[in-house]
Amino acid sequence: MFTIKKLSECKLEEAVAAWNTGFQGYFFDATMDVDRFTTRLGLENLSASLSIVAFDQQKPIGILLSGVKTVDGKKVAWNGGTGVATEYRRKGIGKLLIDKALEIYEEANVEVSTLEAITENTKAISLYEKKGYKIVDEVVHLRCEEMPEFYGALDYQAVFTSAQEAQYLPIYKHDTPWQSQWFSMKEGQALQLVDNDGETVAYGLFKREFDEDGTLKSVTVTHCYIQEGKGNPDYLIDSLFSYLFPPSSVNYVCTVAFFATSNKRVHQFLLDKGFTKRVGQVWMKKAIKEGVQGGV
């Protein structure tokens, strides 16, 4: 008999076993140990009281992780991963997990539920669609194998703050995938470009990693927008990225992650600069409360 428990009611080892068997044979290696699993819960704002684990008697066989945040005045849930052990697939476990998660969201007064699914994972996407989720955008992960060249502009002042402070910018975009948002950028930074009138005309969220000797190893950008109608847009985008990916005498990894392709001008700019897609996902939403539109 299959049962569902909240993650908060399970042993960590049971949750990790459910995760690892649930994502066995996935599109990439998603294997985790207890330490990595608990770290991910914190980094991605996932909740043990909202996440659930499926059991066949005492055996953990499936998992669905969830987090909830108030985003731009609306209570938004995020499905941070749904997996079912191989031998239990096509037995209704995924449907059982999603139904229970939606029930929990409703009890928690969630207004909109969101998730991302690998574009090629058509079976999962079909199941979500049957449960009322709709595809609203494409999310891509881009990388440039060679250091791109940008031409910084002296026309703008670069202002660096914590990622958390970005949410207060007048041009901040709240309607973007969960992992691109400021609250998912632990130890991340925000960059604003300010024009001569003191107005923020572009911004980006990013995180830098360094080797033990202090050498820049990688830069990951998750969220970057410009204010349309403020001069030459390509010049403005180039100026923004000249600070996000600074010149260096040593090559480092340049990545743009969780990027919504509806941000068309910036997306095309990155492709023209030599960035290529590594992973594609669909971004899906479902209104939980009646009368609430799918948009956040």
pLDDT single digits (tens) 145-167:
888 888 877 789 999 999 999 99
227 or 248: whose pLDDT is higher?
Answer: 227
**Per-residue pLDDT at 120 exceeds 70:** yes
Banded pLDDT at 189 (limits 50, 70, 90):
very high
Query: What distance, in Å, lies between the first and last C-alpha atoms of the chain?
Result: 38
pLDDT at 155: 82
Question: Is the distance from CB of 206 to CB of 222 less than 8 angstroms?
Answer: yes
pLDDT at 208: 94
Break the chain down into helix, strand, coil percent, rounded to 5: 30, 35, 35
pLDDT at 290: 67
User: Which of the following CATH numbers is that of domain 143-281: 3.40.630.30, 1.10.3720.10, 3.10.20.440, 1.20.950.20?
Assistant: 3.40.630.30
Mean pLDDT (the chain, rounded): 92
The residue assigned the tokens 């403005």 is: 236
**Per-residue pLDDT at 131 exceeds 70:** yes
- Span 91-116, mean pLDDT? 95
Give the lowest-confidence range in 30-44, 69-83, 189-203, 280-294: 280-294
**Per-residue pLDDT at 1 exceeds 80:** no
Task: Measure the CA–CA gap between 79 and 50, rounded to whole angstroms.
Answer: 10
Task: Measure the CA–CA gap between 229 and 79, rounded to whole angstroms.
Answer: 36
Q: Fold match between 2-110 and 143-281?
A: yes
Q: pTM for this one?
A: 0.91
Share of the chain above pLDDT 90, in %: 78
pLDDT at 291: 57
Task: Measure the CA–CA gap between 249 and 177, rounded to whole angstroms.
Answer: 33
Question: Is the distance from CB of 78 to CB of 139 less than 8 angstroms?
Answer: no
pLDDT at 22: 87
Domain ranges of the chain: 2-110, 143-281
pLDDT at 231: 76
- Span 246-262, mean pLDDT? 92
- Kindly provide the residue ranges of all beta strands, DSSP E only, lying in 145-268, ordered along the sequence: 157-162, 189-194, 200-210, 216-226, 253-260
Give the lowest-confidence range in 23-32, 112-121, 205-214: 23-32
pLDDT at 64: 96
Q: Is 184 helix (H, G, I), strand (E, B) or coil?
A: helix
**Per-residue pLDDT at 198 exceeds 80:** yes
pLDDT single digits (tens) 54-79:
999 999 999 999 999 999 999 999 99
- Tell me the CATH architecture of domain 2-110: 3-Layer(aba) Sandwich (3.40)
